[in-house]
Amino acid sequence: MTNQVYFVGAGSGDPELLTIKAKRLIDSADTIIFAGSLVNTEIFKDIKNGTKLIDSSNLHLEKIINIIKDDYLRNKKIVRVQSGDPTIYGAIQEQCNLLDNLNIPYEVVPGVSSFTASAARLKKELTVPDVTQTIIITRISGNTTVPEMEKLEELAKHHCSLALFLSVQHVKKVQESLLKVLKPDTRVALIYHVSWPDEKVIITNLSDLVTTARKYDLKKSTMILIGPFLENQNKASKLYEKGFTY
């Protein structure tokens, strides 16, 4: 088990939102490569003496893979810590592909995503019966382009729950895209650093989105949630209705 690489989801920020498996792997690692300021370093407070902690924020892909390869060949347990869940905007696929080419085994360990942590912080259910049963996880097109069929204004036409990652730095573009489809008074939730000590939770209208983001200086690490779930939470599931049977 020690001669393996683990991509581990650090969760949304709160150290208590680590999975038990993530906690065990982090605490027993010989080498930890973590995603810079995106990861709350409080999760490393119980690591072994002598564990090598490497901030990858200034490392290019080749350097990261070389560190993993060298320590793997030295029979070290390597934990690559990603923010949130590694499979959502985690940029792990290119790392996995290179490890496959090197015949280095690895495992991906999921984590609590910021979009679910944000909904939990709002005490809202993203899937409300008779309101919406669909969640779209997406981002506005920026340095990483979005396919034509996945443009935000196209996705917004579904009028379901939208979770926008990596988009607050392009908030004006987000607002312009959504206003092509949604009403100006549509409610929008902005959650900065969800579950971190400096967390901010702001509810605003779509028409005030840009002004609000600038007022609170929201430039990064902010989840944007939009959809009817923010206002319609009165529809009950049939699951607990009297007389309901499977």
Same domain as 219, residue 127: yes
Same domain as 213, residue 163: yes
Domains of the chain: total: 2
User: pLDDT tens for residues 84-111?
Assistant: 999 999 999 999 999 999 999 999 999 9
Residue 144: predicted pLDDT: 86
Same domain as 226, residue 134: yes
Identify the band that residue 244 occupies on the pLDDT scale cut at 50, 70 and 90: low
Answer yes or no: are the C-beta atoms of 243 and 209 closer than 8 Å: no
Q: What is the mean pLDDT of residues 184-196?
A: 97
Of residues 141 and 82, more confidently modeled? 82
Same domain as 134, residue 95: no
Specify if 205 maps to a domain.
yes
Residue 64, burial from CB neighbour count under 10 angstroms (0-12, 13-18, 19+): middle
Percentage of residues in the chain with pLDDT exceeding 70? 93
Q: What is the mean pLDDT of residues 163-186?
A: 97
Q: Point out the domain boundary residue: 58, 92, 109.
A: 109
Degrees to nearest 5, angle at CA 108 with 105 and 109: 135
Specify if 242 maps to a domain.
no
Question: Which tokens in the block code for residue 98?
Answer: 């290179």
Specify if 176 maps to a domain.
yes
The CATH code of the domain that includes 85 is: 3.40.1010.10
Measured in degrees and rounded to the nearest 5, phi and psi for residue 13 equal 150, -45
Specify if 31 maps to a domain.
yes
Least confident of 59-73, 94-108, 231-245: 231-245
The single residue listed with the structure tokens 């200034």 is 58
State yes or no: pLDDT of 243 exceeds 80: no
Q: What is the mean pLDDT of residues 116-142?
A: 95
How many Cβ atoms sit within 10 Å of the Cβ of residue 135?
17
Same domain as 179, residue 74: no
The contacts of residue 201 (CB under 8 Å, 6+ apart) are: 121, 122, 189, 190, 191, 192, 194
Same domain as 82, residue 128: no
Residue 48: predicted pLDDT: 96
Q: How far apart are CA 158 and CA 112, in angstroms?
A: 26
Residue 233: predicted pLDDT: 59
Question: Which tokens in the block code for residue 177?
Answer: 């895209």
Same domain as 133, residue 47: no
Answer yes or no: are the C-beta atoms of 161 and 126 closer than 8 Å: yes
Q: Rounded to two decimals, what is the model's pTM?
A: 0.91
Residue-number span of the structural domain to which 139 is assigned: 114-230
Same domain as 223, residue 137: yes
Same domain as 163, residue 177: yes
Residue 138: predicted pLDDT: 97
Q: How far apart are CA 163 and CA 195, in angstroms?
A: 17
Specify if 44 maps to a domain.
yes
Specify if 241 maps to a domain.
no
Closest Cα partner for 18 from 59, 46, 48? Answer: 46
Identify the band that residue 70 occupies on the pLDDT scale cut at 50, 70 and 90: very high
Q: Point out the domain boundary residue: 44, 78, 109.
A: 109
The single residue listed with the structure tokens 């969640």 is 135
Same domain as 120, residue 73: no
Residue 1: predicted pLDDT: 45
The CATH code of the domain that includes 186 is: 3.30.950.10
Residue 236: predicted pLDDT: 57
Of residues 218 and 238, more confidently modeled? 218
Identify the band that residue 143 occupies on the pLDDT scale cut at 50, 70 and 90: confident
Q: Point out the domain boundary residue: 77, 109, 141.
A: 109
Specify if 144 maps to a domain.
yes
Same domain as 223, residue 121: yes
User: pLDDT tens for residues 3-23?
Assistant: 699 999 999 999 999 999 999
Q: How far apart are CA 59 and CA 54, in angstroms?
A: 10
State yes or no: pLDDT of 223 exceeds 50: yes
Specify if 237 maps to a domain.
no
Same domain as 104, residue 16: yes
Which DSSP symbol is given to 235? P
